[in-house]
Structure 1
Amino acid sequence: MSVINAQIPLHCRERTETDWLICRVEDHTFMGSGGVFNLDEIIEIFKNWVASII
């Protein structure tokens, strides 16, 4: 399965107003948004998603 055709389940975590994230695939593009300190967690979700499909 190619990365282009793979789907990622929606990841949505809302812990506080500044500790939150949403990750999804939209139009074959990984989309990750989150609070100011959630970048590491978003990258980890992306890496796990890619590893699961290759």
Structure 2
Amino acid sequence: MAEAGGELSWLEQWYRAQCDGDWEHEWGVRIATLDNPGWTVAIDLEETTLSGRTYDGTDIRRSESDWVMATVSGDVFQASCGPLNLGEVLRLFRDWVTSVSVER
């Protein structure tokens, strides 16, 4: 299990880069807990360089408490994961953003 500190710091920088006086009023990043337990993450891609880009999706199920599912739907990166997989979800998003940036 990797430490989430680097991923969280990266996400903070990505979010800040999207904030232009308009974007942050309608779009954003949401992280919440699940009751099974786990996490959900929703990151709006509208009006970013990621808008309209495809994501192959992720479906990893190691155990009842160690799992990650992620997709892009409706211009939103959506993920859910086990209680100790939040850093992994943020790393998936970071890796995808980085790969999309390299493609352009």
TM-score for the superposition, normalised by structure 2? 0.49
Distance in 2 (alpha carbons) for counterparts of 1:21 and 1:38 = 7
Count of matched residue positions in the alignment of Structure 1 and Structure 2: 53
Match of 1:24 in 2: 71
Distance in 2 (alpha carbons) for counterparts of 1:8 and 1:45 = 10
Identity percentage of aligned residues:
28
Where do 5+ consecutive residues of structure 2 fail to align? 1-48
Runs (4 or more) in structure 1 with deviation over 6 Å come to: none
Compare the two structures and name the one with the higher helix fraction: 2
Residue in structure 1 matching 2:60, options 7, 10, 13? 13
TM-score for the superposition, normalised by structure 1? 0.92
Report which of the two structures shows the higher radius of gyration computed on alpha carbons.
Answer: 2
